[in-house]
Structure 1
Amino acid sequence: MPTNLNSSAPHIAGASTWDDDLVDWGGHLEPIDGRSTNRGRLLWKGDADGLPEAGVWESTPGTWRLVLPRDELVHFVSGRATYSADDGEVIEVMAGTVVHFREGWTGTVEVRETIRSVYMLR
């Protein structure tokens, strides 16, 4: 199955292992341990204030603070992490987990094995 990022419907075959053209997105905005870095590839970014946005995202092990300014739907395709909400809820993610984080979600993320996801922000 081919990958075509210039299609009228951009698509990536094998998103869990695809490694072509991933861009270094740097470290997290609020690192706790400072080790974790990001990389990814945009599939789409809207014209109006950059939304919606969809792509592939990868993060290496580490811990950071997360504050989501908008809704985000995430399908994790590899790795393991724990999302701990400020209200005490704990969400364990691994390959096959789908999470809808609502706008305003706050907490910490601890990545134990490099995670990769396909995501959409609105």
Structure 2
Amino acid sequence: MNATAPHIAGASTWVDDLKDWGGHLEPIDGKSMNTGRLLWKGEDNGLPEAGIWISTPGSWRLVLPRDELCHFVAGRATYTADDGEVIEVEPGMVVHFLEGWTGTVVVHEAIRAIYMLR
């Protein structure tokens, strides 16, 4: 996106130009797939990065190598940290996953998040 302030109007329902981002790196059930739309990717190791991310139902192991802020605008999912903390995600929820967060994700209904990595 070539703009002084990259933007997407209607990001919570955007369907134009979504890209197939494939499956998860560590699938548990192997069914969940990702699509998305990149809004911005920095030149310094690709960071920061921001965009729209959509994941279909399924489960996977998640290990985050950097901070990630997600504003979930659709769907339902359960994030369970290795230390036992459970985060029930639903529309309208904002979660800041700290660098090094590890656990499992179960998507019950396709989730859509506006995200930023740093």
Q: TM-score, normalization: structure 1?
A: 0.95
Alignment: residue pair count: 118
Aligned to 1:38: 34
Aligned to 1:97: 93
Q: 1:58-86 CA distances to partner (integer Å, 9 max, x unpaired)? A: 00000000000000010001000000000
2:14 to 14, 18, 38: 18
Structure 1 runs not aligned, ≥5 long: none
Supply the RMSD in Å over aligned alpha carbons: 0.7
| Structure 1 SS opposite 2:114 | strand
Aligned to 2:53: 57
Shift, 1:54, TM fit: 0.4
| Structure 2 SS opposite 1:81 | strand
Q: TM-score, normalization: structure 2?
A: 0.98
| Percent sequence identity over aligned pairs | 78
Q: Which has the higher strand share?
A: 2
Structure 2 runs not aligned, ≥5 long: none
